[in-house]
Structure 1
Amino acid sequence: MDLQEISDRLELKEVVDLFSNDADTKENDKQVQLFTTNGVVNIINDGKVTFTLHGRDEIFKAFSSSMDDYQSVFHMSGQQTVNFTDRTHATGTAYNYVVLVKANADGTTTTTQEGVRYEDRYEKVAGKWLIAERNSHFNWHLEK
């Protein structure tokens, strides 16, 4: 591994972690900047694509509206592996533990916990690594 590859791996880890940080703070305007302009997000439940988002505008609208009902959002980033195709393209897998807390009309809260595996395709654009495609596999879900 040379210094450039080490640097690229650190930058890709930061992209994945910033995605989670920005989700937690609901800064979706920052979050979508981690994608290429024509980035794609596939939401996958039970091994089936539930829906697909194309481009930053569509991703922003979906991410923003999906968090409206939650008073608290928490992502814990886990392991990440990366494979480089060349100096400007890579693929990776990253794991997240996600907790969503929703305030109900009756004053109670509902807490949802999810195990998510991201299968990503990355591109280095103008010297910066971005997510070109994210396959978000929602592997398990607990609600109480």
Structure 2
Amino acid sequence: MNIEEIKDRLALKELVDRVSVLGDRKDFHAQVQLFTENAISETFAGVNEILKLKGRKEMESAFESFLSEIEIVYHFNGQQVVVIDGDAATGTCYCLITLIGDEGGKKLKTTIGAIYYDDYIREENRWLIAKRIGNFDWQEKTEA
């Protein structure tokens, strides 16, 4: 592994982490700037597709709407594996997501085990997400 590949790997890790941090802060406008203009975001619960979005505007609106009634959002990114091929790359990242909000007068905590499959592209010397497939493999709800 050479120094350029190490730099790219660090940049891709920071990209994925920054997407999560901005989501936690509910700064959706800044978050979607880390995706390409016409990026695709697909979300699955098991084998069922629950959301398919295209482009920054559509993603920003959907992310804001989905999390509008959630008080606390917390992503914990774990292992990430990437394969880099010039100005393109693919990656897999495991993530534990915690959502706390009010449902039916009760404060509930939802914990989700997710795996993100990403396609990255380097544009103007910075990495962006061109496509993200999120698999929400399991979910658990408890009173907070």
- TM-score by length of structure 2 reads 0.95
- Asked whether 1:37 is paired with 2:37, we answer yes
Instruction: Give the secondary-structure state (helix, strand or coil) at the position aligned to 1:60.
Output: helix
5+ residue gaps, structure 2, are: none
Q: Aligned residue for 1:101?
A: 100
Residue correspondence of structure 1 range 56-135 to structure 2 within 5 A: 56-84=56-84, 86-104=85-103, 106=105, 108-135=106-133
Displacement of 1:105 after TM fit? Answer: 5.4
Q: TM-score, normalization: structure 1?
A: 0.95
Please give the alpha-carbon distance, in whole angstroms, between the structure 2 residues aligned to 1:118 and 1:82. 12
Letter in 2 for 1:133: K
DSSP 3-state at the match of 1:68: coil
CA-CA distance at 1:45 after TM superposition = 1.3
What per-residue deviation string (whole Å, max 9, x for no partner) do you get for residues 4-47 of structure 1? 11000000000100011011110101110110001000011112
Q: Deviations over 1:100-139 (max 9, x none)?
A: 0002453x30110000000000000010000000000000
Aligned residues: 142
The letter of the residue matching 2:118 is D
Which AA in structure 1 matches 2:74? F
Supply the distance in 1 between the matched residues of 2:66 and 2:107 (Cα, whole angstroms): 17
Counting aligned pairs with the same residue, the percent is 37
Alignment correspondent of 2:14? 14
Gaps of 5+ in 1: none
Q: Give me the whole-angstrom Cα distance separating, in 1, the residues matched to 2:103 and 2:97.
A: 19
Q: CA RMSD in A?
A: 1.0
Distance 1:46 1:73 in 2: 21
SS of the residue aligned with 2:68? coil
Secondary structure in structure 1 of the residue aligned to 2:64: helix
